[in-house]
Amino acid sequence: MLIELNDIYKNYGQGDNLVRALRGISLQVEDGEMVAVMGKSGSGKSTLLNIIGGLDAFDQGEYYYSGQKVVFKNQEQMARFRHNKIGFIIQNFALIEHKTVFDNVALPLRYNRLSRKVIETKVMQELSNMGLQDKAKRYPYQLSGGQCQRVAIARALINEPDLILADEPTGALDSNTEEEVINILLDFNRQGKTMIIVTHDRNIAAMCNRTINILDGKDVSA
């Protein structure tokens, strides 16, 4: 079992602004599974993904990753967890516009102490896997949407994460590019990577092993 969440609660804000984003979610994901998360806007999907990925802390409940209890005492612990284990792919790529493609992909490696040579080899290998080896010196604004998403995917994979979390990975893409990105994701899954994908797209959900349906911060799949 890679992921086990038991009765997770998450609130944002206080008093009149209190939002109960997650209200007792439990979830188990096996190694190598590809799981879709669906539900209408505001139901808590991104919150769930952010908690699994260590981008956000939860208020109540238990989280086990590979059988180990996940306890985040501070931001640094969360960052270390993320950088070692998780690859994030999000809708609008979140590339850094004033950095080159190379530097964007290299970013997660900066947290590990690697030589320049090793960084270069890893980044160029990852870019070449994505068919972007000739774009290393370009800037994001010089690329198409599909190319940007491939750069973002290369960045998500550079640390060889066990778990890939994708939040609407095709939401901002045209249908050709969408298919290309889906094929890349399916390929990772075939290589044994575990994947959790938040999506509104039933076609993507159909390619996953199963779908979790979220409503008002609860799992209503059953």
Residues that bind ligand ADP (CB under 6 A): 12-13, 19, 21, 39, 41-47
Q: How far is the CB of 108 from ligand ADP (least distance, A)?
A: 23
- CB-wise, 41 or 191, nearer to ligand ADP? 41
- CB-wise, 109 or 198, nearer to ligand ADP? 198
Q: How far is the CB of 50 from ligand ADP (least distance, A)?
A: 8
Q: How far is the CB of 127 from ligand ADP (least distance, A)?
A: 30
Q: Is the dihedral of CA 214, 215, 216, 222 positive or negative?
A: negative
Yes or no: say if 197 and 52 are a contact pair by the CB < 8 Å rule.
Answer: no
Yes or no: say if 208 and 29 are a contact pair by the CB < 8 Å rule.
Answer: no
Burial of 93 (0-12, 13-18, 19+ CB in 10 A): buried
- CB-wise, 13 or 131, nearer to ligand ADP? 13
Residue 199: φ, ψ to 5°: -155, 150
Measured over all CA atoms, what is the biggest interatomic distance in the chain, rounded to whole angstroms?
54
- CB-wise, 42 or 131, nearer to ligand ADP? 42
Give the Å distances, CA to CA, from 101 to 47, 95, 109, 143, 189: 28, 9, 14, 9, 25
Q: How far is the CB of 9 from ligand ADP (least distance, A)?
A: 12
Where are any strands of DSSP class E within the chain?
Answer: 3-12, 19-29, 34-38, 60-65, 68-69, 86-90, 163-167, 194-198, 210-215, 218-219
- CB-wise, 90 or 154, nearer to ligand ADP? 90
Q: How far is the CB of 39 from ligand ADP (least distance, A)?
A: 6
- CB-wise, 12 or 111, nearer to ligand ADP? 12
Cα separation, 155 vs 95, whole angstroms: 9
Q: How far is the CB of 124 from ligand ADP (least distance, A)?
A: 35
DSSP state, residue 141: G
